[in-house]
């Protein structure tokens, strides 16, 4: 997504003002361009030659990349990175030259001056090639950039699909943390991820298409993850002392299994979310009996007791290696205040095992378990 779409935050007043100002500026620029444009004559749709060049360049570049990447998928048939790149080049050539010919016919109503269009096509092809090489080899070091420990002020490590909870424009669940131990662990995790990614390169180039091990690392690694990493991967964000923000996102299979414990310590889990989100935003709890029905509670006192009990249980019972559980609780948090946006709501689902004595006691004492058995 373009950088300007999320400038100055999301859902804030300054963000809205920015968009209004941006639209006004673009409208004024378009108005002045139209006023200064030379009078059009019959059979001549554009007064400025530069307009034709710009339209051709952008269209050919876009079509070349689009068709190139579509055709690069044919490399999957051969499970070959080289085949993907060959098909990419073929697709780029087809996309660039086809769109250039069609645009030339539209602008000139024939093939007159077609040699100049061929030169334009070659320029676009070379530009596209340079762009692909830069991206496929790592973006001039972008893929291996890790800040020095002394430069880092604070960090965030979060699952890519972990919910947000925004209050006054700030995500209170995935907030920056600046303790030295956390920063060191994050840098260690990031280095190991980069080493694994670099090992996947083929003669210095990354694969164009997703490889079969991208989601889990490898078949033998799949079970070792124990669902501690989201299938969509993780996001690492650094806030440097200079004020600069560095953000990187990696798929699950790019995170080494050896870093599994590190990831568990760093990402915001259910306990983190329940602890950080104020209980006043808990609008309802849905208690599900795996054998019978469910019960929805909007009782604030009961919900608060459940949250306190769950925090105790999640702290006391660190790891459970079993799939069987009798109940689950969905905690629905909502901030419907004046600053509401789509990130001001989230749902946290917690499986209630027999080891969760505190939560089960609250459910039993409140009569919820009896209601579920009716």
**pLDDT tens digits, residue range 98-155?**
999 888 888 777 777 778 788 888 999 999 999 999 988 888 888 888 899 999 999 9
Residues 344, 304: Cα–Cα separation, whole Å: 19
**pLDDT tens digits, residue range 291-347?**
777 878 888 888 899 999 998 988 887 666 666 778 888 888 887 655 555 556 778
**pLDDT tens digits, residue range 164-219?**
676 666 676 667 788 888 899 999 999 998 888 888 888 888 887 665 444 444 43
For the sheet with 294-297, list strands across it.
294-297, 282-289, 327-334, 345-352
CA angle 330, 363, 324 (to 5 degrees): 65
- Strand pairing category for 166-167 and 245-250: unpaired
Other Cβ atoms closer than 10 A to 189? 23
Which pLDDT score, from 0 to 100, does residue 53 have?
85
**pLDDT tens digits, residue range 3-13?**
455 555 554 56
Residue spans of the domains in the chain: they are 37-136, 143-268, 274-373
CA contacts within 13 A on the Cβ side of 124: 28
- Mean pLDDT over the full length of the chain: 78
Give the number of residues written for the chain. Answer: 374
Q: Which residues pair with 170 in a beta bridge?
A: 167
């Amino acid at each position: 997504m373009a950088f300007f779409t999320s400038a100055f935050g999301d859902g804030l007043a300054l963000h809205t003002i920015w968009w209004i100002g941006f639209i006004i500026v673009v409208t004024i620029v378009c108005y002045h361009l139209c006023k200064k444009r030379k009078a059009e004559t019959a059979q001549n749709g554009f007064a400025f030659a530069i307009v034709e060049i710009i339209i051709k360049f952008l269209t050919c570049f876009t079509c070349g990349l689009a068709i190139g990447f579509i055709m690069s998928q044919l490399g999957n048939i051969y499970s070959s990175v080289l085949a993907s790149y060959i098909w990419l080049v073929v697709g780029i050539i087809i996309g660039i030259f086809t769109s250039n010919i069609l645009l030339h016919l539209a602008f000139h109503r024939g093939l007159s001056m077609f040699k100049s269009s061929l030169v334009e096509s070659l320029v676009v092809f070379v530009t596209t090639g340079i762009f692909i090489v830069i991206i496929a080899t790592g973006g001039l070091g972008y893929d291996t950039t890790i800040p020095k420990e002394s430069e880092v002020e604070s960090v965030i490590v979060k699952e890519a699909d972990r919910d947000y909870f925004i209050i006054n424009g700030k995500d209170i669940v995935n907030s920056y943390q600046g303790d030295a131990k956390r920063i060191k662990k994050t840098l260690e995790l990031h280095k190991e991820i980069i080493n694994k990614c670099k090992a996947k390169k083929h003669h210095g180039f990354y694969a164009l298409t997703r490889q079969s091990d991208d989601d889990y690392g490898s078949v033998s690694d799949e079970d070792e993850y124990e669902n501690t990493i989201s299938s969509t991967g993780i996001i690492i964000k650094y806030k440097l002392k200079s004020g600069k923000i560095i953000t990187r996102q990696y798929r699950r299979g790019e995170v080494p299994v050896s870093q599994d414990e590190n990831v568990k310590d760093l990402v915001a889990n259910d306990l983190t979310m329940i602890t950080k989100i104020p209980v006043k935003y808990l609008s309802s709890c849905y208690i599900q009996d795996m054998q019978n029905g469910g019960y929805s509670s909007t009782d604030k006192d009961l919900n608060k007791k459940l949250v306190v009990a769950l925090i105790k249980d999640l702290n006391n019972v660190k790891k459970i290696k079993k799939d069987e559980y009798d109940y689950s609780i969905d905690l629905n948090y909502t901030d419907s205040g004046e600053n509401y946006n789509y990130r001001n709501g989230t749902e946290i689902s917690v499986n209630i095992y027999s080891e969760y004595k505190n939560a089960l006691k609250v459910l039993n004492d409140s009569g919820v378990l009896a209601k579920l058995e009716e």
